[in-house]
C-alpha cells in the first residue's frame, strides 16, 4: 500500500537503534526524507547499521535548547517538517524506594521533557504542512511495573499529552496519536535479559505471558503502526492510543 509519504520530512528521535531504527527503515521504504535524531555521536556513515538511510543529527534531547537547535538544523537541511515521531527514552529504574526526588525529576525530563520540547519547536512547521505527531508510549503506564516511578510517570504523561495535543491542534488539522508497545525484541531488551542467571529461561517466562503467539513483539510491527498513523491513510484518526503488544496489556494472561 502506498502511504503517500514520498518526500515527506519526518523526524524520528532515538532513530539509530531499536524501535526507532525500525521506524526509520520503513519510512525509507515509503520514500520519506528521514531526519534521524540520536545522542550517539556519529555520522550516518559510521552508525552500527550502515544501511540506515537518512540525515543524521546528534543531539542530547534532555536540553530544550538542544531540541530547538536540532529542529533548526533539520529545517536548514531538509527545508520543512511534515511529521514528528517522539521515540527516544529509556527505563531508568528510578523507583519510590530506591530513587531520590532529584533522580525522579531527572527521569521525567529524560523521558517526557523532550517530547514537549520537540513538539513545541516543530509546531510552526507542522502547522504549515498539516502534519502529524506520533508519540511512543509504554504498557508500564497502564499496568505498572514496580521500581520505575520516573519512567512510568513520564509514559503516563505522554499518553495524556497525546490527547491534550490532539485537542489543541484540531484547528490546524494536525493529528496526534500514540503507539504503545509492551515486550519488544530490541538490542536494549536483549541486553536487559543478559542480566539474569538464565536469560533464555527468563525470555520463555515472559513470552508465555504474551497471549498472541507467545512471543515478543518485533520492532517492525511497532514501526508499521507508527508509519500508518503518520500517513494520510489514517487521515481521520487523532487522539488515539494504539496498543501493539500481542494482547499483553488488555487480555487476561491467565488464558496463556
Enzyme catalytic residues: 151
Q: How many CA atoms lie within 13 A of 118 on its CB side?
A: 34
How many CB atoms sit inside 10 A of residue 46's CB? Answer: 10
| C-alpha separations of 176 from 52, 133, 230 in Å | 26, 5, 9
How far apart (Å, rounded) are the C-alpha atoms in residues 203 and 17?
21
CB neighbour list of residue 186: distance below 8 Å, 6 or more residues apart: 17, 18, 19, 219
What is the largest distance, in Å, between two alpha-carbon atoms of the chain?
Answer: 54
Distance, first Cα to last Cα, the chain: 34
The set of cell numbers assigned to 110 is 529524560
How far apart (Å, rounded) are the C-alpha atoms in residues 125 and 59?
19
* 90 phi and psi angles, rounded to 5 deg: -160, 150
Amino acid at each position: 500500500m502506498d502511504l503517500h509519504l514520498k518526500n515527506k520530512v519526518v523526524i524520528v528521535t532515538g532513530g539509530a537503534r531499536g524501535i526507532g531504527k525500525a521506524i526509520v527503515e520503513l519510512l525509507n521504504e515509503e520514500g520519506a526524507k528521514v531526519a534521524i535524531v540520536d545522542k550517539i555521536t556519529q555520522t550516518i556513515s559510521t552508525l552500527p547499521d550502515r544501511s540506515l538511510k537518512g540525515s543524521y543529527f546528534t543531539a542530547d534531547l534532555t536540553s530544550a535548547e538542544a531540541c530547538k537547535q536540532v529542529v533548526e538544523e533539520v529545517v536548514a537541511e531538509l527545508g520543512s517538517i511534515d511529521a514528528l515521531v517522539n521515540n527516544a527514552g529509556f527505563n531508568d529504574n528510578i523507583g519510590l524506594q530506591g530513587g531520590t526526588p532529584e533522580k525522579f525529576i531527572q527521569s521525567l525530563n529524560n523521558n517526557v521533557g523532550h517530547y514537549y520540547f520537540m513538539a513545541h519547536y516543530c509546531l510552526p512547521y507542522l502547522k504549515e504542512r498539516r502534519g502529524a505527531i506520533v508519540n511512543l508510549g509504554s504498557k508500564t503506564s497502564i499496568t505498572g511495573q514496580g521500581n520505575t516511578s520516573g519512567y512510568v510517570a513520564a509514559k503516563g504523561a505522554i499518553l495524556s499529552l497525546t490527547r491534550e495535543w490532539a485537542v489543541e491542534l484540531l484547528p490546524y488539522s494536525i493529528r496526534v496519536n500514540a503507539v504503545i508497545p509492551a515486550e519488544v525484541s530490541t538490542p536494549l531488551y536483549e541486553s536487559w535479559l543478559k542480566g539474569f542467571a538464565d536469560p533464555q529461561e527468563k525470555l520463555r517466562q515472559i513470552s508465555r505471558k504474551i497471549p498472541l503467539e507467545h512471543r515478543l513483539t518485533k520492532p517492525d510491527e511497532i514501526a508499521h503502526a507508527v508509519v500508518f498513523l503518520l500517513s494520510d491513510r489514517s487521515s481521520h484518526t487523532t487522539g488515539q492510543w494504539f496498543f501493539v503488544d500481542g494482547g499483553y496489556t488488555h487480555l487476561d494472561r491467565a488464558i496463556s
